[in-house]
Amino acid sequence: MRKAFVLVLLAMVFPVAGFCKCAGAAIHLKGHVSGGDSDGLEIVAITTPDANWEPQAKILVQHGSFAGEVYFDTFKTREFNDVCTRVPRSVEVKLFRGKHLADSIRLDISKDFVRDEQGDYELRSPIEFRLR
Protein backbone atom coordinates (compact mmCIF):
# COMPACT_ATOMS: atom_id res chain seq x y z
CA MET A 1 0.00 0.00 0.00
CA ARG A 2 2.77 2.41 0.93
CA LYS A 3 4.67 1.62 -2.27
CA ALA A 4 1.58 2.42 -4.40
CA PHE A 5 1.13 5.74 -2.56
CA VAL A 6 4.77 6.71 -3.22
CA LEU A 7 4.40 5.80 -6.93
CA VAL A 8 1.25 7.90 -7.28
CA LEU A 9 2.92 10.81 -5.49
CA LEU A 10 5.99 10.58 -7.77
CA ALA A 11 3.77 10.44 -10.86
CA MET A 12 2.05 13.63 -9.76
CA VAL A 13 5.31 15.47 -9.07
CA PHE A 14 7.25 14.18 -12.11
CA PRO A 15 4.84 13.62 -15.01
CA VAL A 16 5.82 10.89 -17.43
CA ALA A 17 6.92 12.08 -20.88
CA GLY A 18 3.95 12.03 -23.21
CA PHE A 19 1.47 12.43 -20.34
CA CYS A 20 -0.43 15.73 -20.00
CA LYS A 21 0.93 17.27 -23.19
CA CYS A 22 -0.74 20.30 -24.75
CA ALA A 23 -2.64 19.95 -27.99
CA GLY A 24 -1.62 22.35 -30.74
CA ALA A 25 -4.17 24.58 -32.41
CA ALA A 26 -4.54 25.05 -36.16
CA ILE A 27 -5.21 28.44 -37.71
CA HIS A 28 -7.01 27.68 -40.98
CA LEU A 29 -6.27 30.06 -43.84
CA LYS A 30 -8.05 30.20 -47.18
CA GLY A 31 -8.57 32.77 -49.86
CA HIS A 32 -8.14 33.98 -53.41
CA VAL A 33 -5.61 35.91 -55.46
CA SER A 34 -6.85 38.07 -58.32
CA GLY A 35 -5.39 40.61 -60.71
CA GLY A 36 -2.69 38.60 -62.43
CA ASP A 37 -0.89 35.34 -62.98
CA SER A 38 -0.96 33.29 -59.76
CA ASP A 39 1.68 30.73 -60.84
CA GLY A 40 4.63 30.53 -58.47
CA LEU A 41 2.91 32.28 -55.56
CA GLU A 42 3.36 31.11 -51.98
CA ILE A 43 1.72 32.07 -48.69
CA VAL A 44 3.79 32.60 -45.53
CA ALA A 45 2.01 33.16 -42.22
CA ILE A 46 3.62 34.57 -39.07
CA THR A 47 1.75 34.51 -35.76
CA THR A 48 2.05 36.83 -32.78
CA PRO A 49 3.18 35.54 -30.39
CA ASP A 50 5.52 33.18 -32.22
CA ALA A 51 3.83 29.88 -33.09
CA ASN A 52 6.68 27.81 -31.55
CA TRP A 53 6.01 25.27 -34.27
CA GLU A 54 8.67 24.45 -36.85
CA PRO A 55 8.56 23.71 -39.66
CA GLN A 56 5.23 25.12 -40.83
CA ALA A 57 3.59 23.53 -43.85
CA LYS A 58 3.90 25.46 -47.12
CA ILE A 59 0.74 27.01 -48.51
CA LEU A 60 0.78 27.27 -52.28
CA VAL A 61 -1.56 29.23 -54.53
CA GLN A 62 -3.17 27.02 -57.16
CA HIS A 63 -5.51 28.37 -59.85
CA GLY A 64 -5.91 31.62 -57.92
CA SER A 65 -6.92 29.99 -54.61
CA PHE A 66 -5.14 28.79 -51.48
CA ALA A 67 -5.99 26.85 -48.35
CA GLY A 68 -3.77 25.62 -45.53
CA GLU A 69 -3.01 25.71 -41.84
CA VAL A 70 -0.58 27.37 -39.49
CA TYR A 71 0.01 25.34 -36.33
CA PHE A 72 0.25 27.05 -32.96
CA ASP A 73 1.70 25.61 -29.74
CA THR A 74 -0.71 26.22 -26.83
CA PHE A 75 1.84 25.29 -24.11
CA LYS A 76 2.28 28.22 -21.70
CA THR A 77 4.11 26.86 -18.65
CA ARG A 78 4.63 23.80 -16.51
CA GLU A 79 3.51 23.86 -12.91
CA PHE A 80 2.30 20.51 -11.56
CA ASN A 81 0.96 19.76 -15.04
CA ASP A 82 1.29 21.48 -18.38
CA VAL A 83 -0.70 24.72 -18.62
CA CYS A 84 -2.12 24.91 -22.15
CA THR A 85 -3.63 28.40 -22.23
CA ARG A 86 -1.37 30.14 -24.74
CA VAL A 87 -3.39 31.70 -27.59
CA PRO A 88 -2.44 33.58 -30.76
CA ARG A 89 -3.27 37.31 -30.97
CA SER A 90 -2.71 37.92 -34.67
CA VAL A 91 -1.46 36.33 -37.85
CA GLU A 92 0.28 38.18 -40.66
CA VAL A 93 -0.37 36.49 -44.00
CA LYS A 94 2.17 37.34 -46.70
CA LEU A 95 1.91 36.57 -50.40
CA PHE A 96 5.27 35.97 -52.12
CA ARG A 97 6.31 35.49 -55.72
CA GLY A 98 9.72 33.90 -55.28
CA LYS A 99 11.51 36.08 -52.73
CA HIS A 100 9.47 39.20 -53.51
CA LEU A 101 6.58 40.28 -51.30
CA ALA A 102 3.50 40.80 -53.49
CA ASP A 103 0.93 41.62 -50.79
CA SER A 104 0.23 41.09 -47.07
CA ILE A 105 -2.52 41.39 -44.50
CA ARG A 106 -2.55 41.26 -40.69
CA LEU A 107 -5.55 39.52 -39.16
CA ASP A 108 -6.68 39.89 -35.55
CA ILE A 109 -7.50 36.45 -34.14
CA SER A 110 -10.32 37.73 -31.89
CA LYS A 111 -12.02 39.66 -34.71
CA ASP A 112 -11.27 37.73 -37.91
CA PHE A 113 -11.53 34.12 -36.66
CA VAL A 114 -13.96 31.91 -34.76
CA ARG A 115 -13.11 28.80 -32.73
CA ASP A 116 -14.45 25.48 -33.99
CA GLU A 117 -15.43 22.47 -31.87
CA GLN A 118 -11.81 21.16 -31.88
CA GLY A 119 -10.48 24.49 -30.59
CA ASP A 120 -8.96 25.46 -33.94
CA TYR A 121 -9.37 28.86 -35.59
CA GLU A 122 -11.54 29.30 -38.73
CA LEU A 123 -11.65 32.49 -40.79
CA ARG A 124 -14.91 34.44 -40.72
CA SER A 125 -14.40 35.28 -44.41
CA PRO A 126 -11.78 34.28 -47.00
CA ILE A 127 -8.67 36.38 -47.53
CA GLU A 128 -8.63 38.38 -50.78
CA PHE A 129 -5.27 39.32 -52.26
CA ARG A 130 -4.99 41.54 -55.33
CA LEU A 131 -1.84 41.54 -57.43
CA ARG A 132 -0.65 44.94 -58.62
Q: Taking the chain (132 residues) in consecutive chunks of 10 residues, what is each chunk's mean pLDDT?
A: 48 47 92 89 95 88 95 86 89 95 96 96 97 84
59 domain-assigned: yes
Q: Which domain holds residue 58?
A: 20-130
Decide the pairing of beta strands 127-130 and 25-34.
parallel
Domain count, the chain: 1
What's 112's DSSP letter? H
Given a contact cutoff of 8 angstroms between Cβ atoms, the answer to whether 51 and 72 are in contact is yes
Amino acid 2: pLDDT: 54
67 domain-assigned: yes
Coil/strand/helix, residue 84: coil
Amino acid 114: pLDDT: 98
